Amino acid sequence: LGLALRTRFEALGVFSPQVFPDYTLRAALPLGRLLFRRRGQGDMARAVEAYRPAQEAARDLYFRALRPSRRQRELGRAQQIPAHYAYALASQGRLEEAVEALEAGRARQLAEALLSAQVQQRFREDRDLQSAWGRVEAARIAYNQAEEAKRHLAERRLAQALQDYYGRLRGVFPEFFEAPTFDQIAAAAQEAPLVYLLATPTGGLALVVEPDGRGRGDPPGRPYVTPVWLEGLTEEALRE
């Protein structure tokens, strides 16, 4: 198991999510599952490091899938990332980041449901976006055909082409990139607490966002997140 973990982490160090998102997911998802299964000392901190690039890679793969069936496949492939990432963050006491991770995943699913019919239309109508994607494809072909001595330069050109493409995407599809901050999320908890519920292979967790942490040592008016650990709420238990 230790060798498998080292191999996966080495792969994450080689493949950046911006340039090689598919390879990043192939390394990160099994790595995260192994860490959740082992649950040794420091494993949840390592899981955070695995799922952070996985979230970015999943988003980028979504935008490379122009057909609705492929986008749904990528969403399904990444479905468990927000919950696992949030659980790992919460286990490290990073509760506000855990809420942001869950909300980002929820927002992307909602945006796909509301905008799926518009994605291809927006792509067809935006010539600059099409041109940027064409440059990505050309740079990818050049990278795959590059000699070993020139591979590093080809990778830099591919990374630049992808950066330009995603920069254009942010303008065309802001709904998928502008994830809400914790303060924005907490603003919705002014009327009543927000509760996020998740399950993982190890156990479940409820994150309760309350509008005011007064009485807990937090500054007055500062929203507060309470974790409620639910050991029996595993993914397997939900399937039964």
Region for residue 218 given its phi and psi (left: phi exceeds 0; alpha: psi -120 to 50; beta: otherwise): beta
Distance CA 29, CA 23 (A): 10
Question: Across 68-165, where does the E strand assignment appear?
Answer: none
Q: State pLDDT tens for residues 201-222.
A: 989 999 999 877 554 555 556 7
The answer to whether the CB of 32 falls within 8 A of the CB of 47 is yes
Task: Count CB neighbours of 7 within 10 A.
Answer: 12
Q: Residue 168: CB partners within 8 Å, gap ≥ 6?
A: 126, 128, 129, 132
Tokens of 139: 């740079």
With 0-12 / 13-18 / 19 or more C-beta atoms within 10 angstroms meaning exposed / middle / buried, residue 89 is buried
pTM metric for this prediction: 0.74
* Coil, helix or strand at residue 229: strand
Distance CA 82, CA 59 (A): 12
Half-sphere exposure of 202 (CA within 13 A, CB side): 21
Q: Which of 78-82, 132-136, 173-177, 204-208 has the lowest mean pLDDT?
A: 173-177
- The counts of H helices and E strands in the chain are 11, 3
Per-residue pLDDT band at 163 (split at 50, 70, 90): confident
**Beta bridge partner(s), residue 210:** 224
Query: Given a cut of 80, is residue 108 above it in pLDDT?
Result: no
The pLDDT assigned to 204 comes to 93
The pLDDT assigned to 216 comes to 55
